[in-house]
Amino acid sequence: MANVAKRQFDAVIVGAGGAGMRAALQLSEAGLKTAVLSKVFPTRSHTVAAQGGISASLGNVQEDKWEWHMYDTVKGSDWLGDQDAIEFMCKTAPEAVIELEHFGMPFDRVESGRIYQRPFGGHTANFGEKPVQRACAAADRTGHALLHTLYQRNVRANTQFFVEWMALDLIRDADGDVVGVTALEMETGEVYVLHAKAVLFATGGAGRIYAASTNAFINTGDGLGMCARAGIPLEDMEFWQFHPTGVAGAGVLITEGVRGEGGILLNGNGERFMERYAPTLKDLAPRDFVSRCMALEVLEGRGAGKNKDHVLLKLDHLGPEVINHRLPSIREIAIKFAGVDPIKEPIPVIPTTHYQMGGIPTNYLGEVMVPKGDNPEVRVNGFYAAGECACASVHGANRLGTNSLLDLVVFGKSAGDSMIDFIKRERPVHKPLPENAADYSLSRIARLENQTGGEEVNDVRSAMQKTIQLRAGVFRNSENMALGVKEIAEVAERAKRTQIKDKSKVWNTARIEALELDNLIEAAVATMIAADARKESRGAHSHDDFQKRDDDNWMKHSLFFNHDRHLDYKPVHTKPLTVDYIPPKERTF
Amino acid sequence: MKMQFKIYRYNPDVDAKPYMQDCEVELEPTDKKLLDALVRLKVVDDTLSFRRSCREGVCGSDAMNINGKNGLACVTDVAGLKQPVEIRPLPGLPVIRDLIVDMTQFFKQYNSIKPYVINDTPPPSHERLQSPKDREELDGLYECILCACCSTSCPSFWWNPDKFVGPAGLLAAYRFIADTRDTATNERLDNLEDPYRLFRCHSIMNCVDVCPKHLNPTKAIGKIKELMVKRIA
């Protein structure tokens, strides 16, 4: 097939959000020749939209311990999180956040000069006793502050960015080792082979499989699609977080930090309904729980508004000073997207798809682990993943607010360190590329080029989003999910025949959207099949026909294999690194 | 609701030169922002190219010139826009295709001010302490989203994009000067002491007028100039 230009690096990182840039820093500062590919300029990555904070038991405002943070995270995960990875993340959190501060991140401060911390959902002191202020914040722009700081630090480290390049496929050799990626330079439309000793995926989530999502247009699960096509399974894809407070109608995120600062949820009768469901944590219970309560209020006819289809987030009682100082962007978003000024009126909100708990299976070192024979976790040589695209698994069946930004920097760094170590000890020279390494990607592009009688990308994407929205929502049931499995298989067939009118080379966004749909569809199929199979309710997977958590049969991770669409399962890691196992118990708040 | 547009089109693969295209699109009641309208236009004509991502005004991708003024499509209400809505790429930067401009020069200027905290003293085991009051000095400076609305509305940047840092870069320069954790104020002022880099700002204030985040680069530039003068005195 065609002659494709090749470039060689020690390491290739796909994605320049928080995880990709934290890893890049590690590799650049170690002097490795590193290429960071991103579909968008780095500071436009979706990390930029994170608002409320990054968790760490600094104890700047109230006494806190990483063991409490670990307990909250395990409980928040509904005991699907791997306790070794959770211990690693929570124990590392304080140094990771202090490091960001040293990098120059503009955190808010308390009088002592230390970082300001606010309460957040599911964050408690003394193993669930009472709320604690653990979320380190830069107003309500923590993701922006973090992402820009990491970009700036990478400018200092001379990191080589390939801006507006889209990775197409993973290159694996005959041993199954990862030796590079193919990628499309958007400006020219040229395909390249990037040959590497180690590859990191930090490609973010696939939130755009849903019709209503807080996610950016770019969150198309590219890493998941590339893995699925290359025979790497996807873990726990049935678990999607619905954020309680998306702006009704618009989907734009309103941070949980609003409730952290004292905001409350009201139903159509003006009742603070969370007091009924969660007497201790009230509005600051974890997200899966609050979202279900909100959805119940609406389903039972206690919604607000003309159509009683949402609830209200009230914060006017915080006063203009707190709102303008701590939540300035929320005010801006409410005015722009909900048409209300929260200083005077409540914001109409509704649970909205926000975060993918599942993803590419990794351990806490960022190494991608897949089953082989009887061993459920064997390393894929040369392949790493971190951030939302990865499943370490620290979030299990439900992520705690502010643990996402923490995940990015903790596992971005550990993956970077693992890559440095791997390159030094095991892969000092490049493994050869397989012959015709770009053929598969080129054939996908040629298919698009030559497709006739196909369907428009937008129509197929809309059908996918409608299906997932309807069949894999906050409340799920057997009948609905079985229909979803059938419907999404049909949509996946249609996705094989998408057609674009634009055939030009330069900045062809029609082609990019078609290639993105190829990735989305893999995530959508995995989501539907894994959801349909799980006969219990756990975290964000709430099953009407199996309303209880079933630890005997289902305390296990799902693994979806794309080639024949079968599921496999692997055990949850119940052994923390140093502390005692936290055994399952009932989750009340 | 039908909406009329006049859109700058240029695809180097097929067009000898740029042209303005008249088009019309039927909007749904949920299409409240200009970006919604552009996405709908793209469904009809998939060759229309523009950048977009977060659709909530924080990533800075969809900056463009809207009825003669730079702004972000995703936070611009369609209601109230004069029709036909005239959409052009950001002025003053090379056009790659349609509404997509080459931002190399813009980022080069940003990088040139060393946009990171410089402090060679070894950091403590905890935070470098900063009082809430000192931290407040960064408000109005750090929130920049690098959309380039400001720099590409600045005549001085149009004339000298290679020599004048421009409002976005200078706002960032002052963000680090104002940070009590940064110890390189002198070095930063040296870096800007040049007939072009800083002093091409003539306080036209287009930057302030267009900034979608309501920041004030002119004020920040004024503060840098004050520091320059103080240093000489």
**Is position A270 within any domain?**
yes
Q: Which of A320, A351, A382 is the last residue of a domain?
A: A351
Q: What is the pLDDT of residue A49?
A: 97
CA distance A467 to A572: 30
pTM of the model: 0.97
CA distance A82 to A236: 12
pLDDT digits (tens, 9 = 90+) for A531-587: 999 999 999 999 999 999 999 999 999 999 999 999 999 999 999 999 999 999 999
B172 Cα to chain A: minimum distance (Å): 11
Mean pLDDT, residues B96-108? 98
**Is position A378 within any domain?**
no
CB burial readout A6-30, b (16+ within 10 A) else e: eeebbbbbbbbbbbbbbbbbbbbbb
Mean pLDDT, residues B81-100? 98
Per CB-CB distance under 8 Å, the chain A contacts of B52 are 217
Verify whether the Cβ–Cβ distance B53 to A112 is below 8 Å: no
| Helix (DSSP H) and strand (DSSP E) numbers for chain A | 16, 24
What does the domain layout of chain B look like in residue ranges? 2-101, 104-232
> How does DSSP assign A245-311, residue by residue?
EEETTT--B--THHHHTT-EEE-TTS--THHHH-TTTGGGS-HHHHHHHHHHHHHTT--BTTTT-BE
Residue A188, chain B, CB below 8 Å: the answer is no
Residue A317, chain B, CB below 8 Å: the answer is no
First to last CA, chain A: 60
Instruction: Kindly state the tokens that stand for A218.
Output: 């770019």
pLDDT digits (tens, 9 = 90+) for B106-128: 999 999 999 999 999 999 999 99
Using CB atoms, which residue from A109, A155, A458 is nearest to B132? A109
* Fold entry, domain B2-101: Ubiquitin-like (UB roll) (3.10.20)
Q: How many CA atoms lie within 13 A of A283 on its CB side?
A: 23
* Fold entry, domain B104-232: Fumarate Reductase Iron-sulfur Protein; Chain B, domain 2 (1.10.1060)
Verify whether the Cβ–Cβ distance B49 to A501 is below 8 Å: no
Does A287 qualify as catalytic in the annotation? yes
Using CB atoms, which residue from B45, B53, B127 is nearest to A44? B53
CA distance A41 to A480: 40
CA distance B61 to B77: 17
First to last CA, chain B: 62
Verify whether the Cβ–Cβ distance B97 to A152 is below 8 Å: no
Residue B135, chain A, CB below 8 Å: the answer is yes
Domain co-membership, A443 together with A541: yes
Percentage of chain B surpassing pLDDT 70?
100
Q: What is the pLDDT of residue A555?
A: 98
Q: What is the mean pLDDT of chain B?
A: 97
Per CB-CB distance under 8 Å, the chain B contacts of A211 are none
The single residue of A208, A287, A331, A444 carrying the catalytic annotation is A287
Q: What is the pLDDT of residue B232?
A: 82
Residue A389, chain B, CB below 8 Å: the answer is no
B226 Cα to chain A: minimum distance (Å): 24
* CATH code of the domain covering residue A280: 3.90.700.10
pLDDT(A2) > 70:
no
Give residue for tokens 């006049």. B6
**Is position A509 within any domain?**
yes
Using CB atoms, which residue from B32, B100, B138 is nearest to A106? B138
pLDDT(A385) > 90:
yes
**Residue bearing the bigger pLDDT, A588 or B66:** B66
A401 Cα to chain B: minimum distance (Å): 19
B75 Cα to chain A: minimum distance (Å): 7
Q: What is the mean pLDDT of chain A?
A: 97
Q: What is the pLDDT of residue B233?
A: 75
pLDDT digits (tens, 9 = 90+) for A18-54: 999 999 999 999 999 999 999 999 999 999 999 999 9
Interface test with A, best of B28, B31, B42, B54 (most A CBs within 10 A): B54
Verify whether the Cβ–Cβ distance A501 to B56 is below 8 Å: no
Q: What is the pLDDT of residue A356?
A: 98
Verify whether the Cβ–Cβ distance A148 to B114 is below 8 Å: no
A residues 490-549 lying closer than 8 A (beta carbon) to B:
500-502, 504-510, 513
pLDDT(A197) > 70:
yes
**Is position A61 within any domain?**
no
Instruction: Kindly state the tokens that stand for A167.
Output: 């990775």
Length of chain A in residues, anyone?
Answer: 589
As for how many domains chain A has, the answer is: 2
> How does DSSP assign A542-580, residue by residue?
EETTB-S--HHHH-EEEEEETTTTEEEEEE-----SSS-
Structural domain range at position A344: 245-351
**Is position A294 within any domain?**
yes
Residue B219, chain A, CB below 8 Å: the answer is no
Percentage of chain A surpassing pLDDT 90?
99
B residues 141-170 lying closer than 8 A (beta carbon) to A:
142-143, 145-146
Cα A535 → chain centroid: 24
Residue B121, chain A, CB below 8 Å: the answer is no
Radius of gyration of chain A from its Cα atoms, rounded to whole angstroms? 23
Contact between A354 and A253 under an 8 Å Cβ cutoff? The reply is: yes
Mean pLDDT, residues B19-40? 96
Verify whether the Cβ–Cβ distance A252 to B55 is below 8 Å: yes
Residue A110, chain B, CB below 8 Å: the answer is yes
Contact between A22 and A96 under an 8 Å Cβ cutoff? The reply is: no
Per CB-CB distance under 8 Å, the chain A contacts of B51 are 40
pLDDT digits (tens, 9 = 90+) for B141-182: 999 999 999 999 999 999 999 999 999 999 999 999 999 999
Q: How many CA atoms lie within 13 A of A390 on its CB side?
A: 34
**Is position A524 within any domain?**
yes
Using CB atoms, which residue from B56, B126, B181 is nearest to A114? B126
Per CB-CB distance under 8 Å, the chain A contacts of B53 are 40, 44, 46, 216-218
Q: Which of A418, A415, A387, A408 is nearest to A100 (CA)?
A: A408
How many residue pairs from chains A and B have C-beta atoms closer than 8 A?
A: 144
Q: What is the pLDDT of residue A3?
A: 78
Q: What is the pLDDT of residue A222?
A: 98
Give residue for tokens 């199979």. A533
B159 Cα to chain A: minimum distance (Å): 25
pLDDT(A152) > 70:
yes
Per CB-CB distance under 8 Å, the chain B contacts of A217 are 52-55
* CATH code of the domain covering residue A486: 1.20.58.100
B1 Cα to chain A: minimum distance (Å): 18
**Is position A279 within any domain?**
yes
Residue B120, chain A, CB below 8 Å: the answer is no
Verify whether the Cβ–Cβ distance B100 to A102 is below 8 Å: no
Percentage of chain A surpassing pLDDT 70?
100
**Is position A538 within any domain?**
yes
pLDDT digits (tens, 9 = 90+) for A296-341: 999 999 999 999 999 999 999 999 999 999 999 999 999 999 999 9
CA-nearest residue to B30 within chain A is A249
Q: What is the pLDDT of residue A1?
A: 47
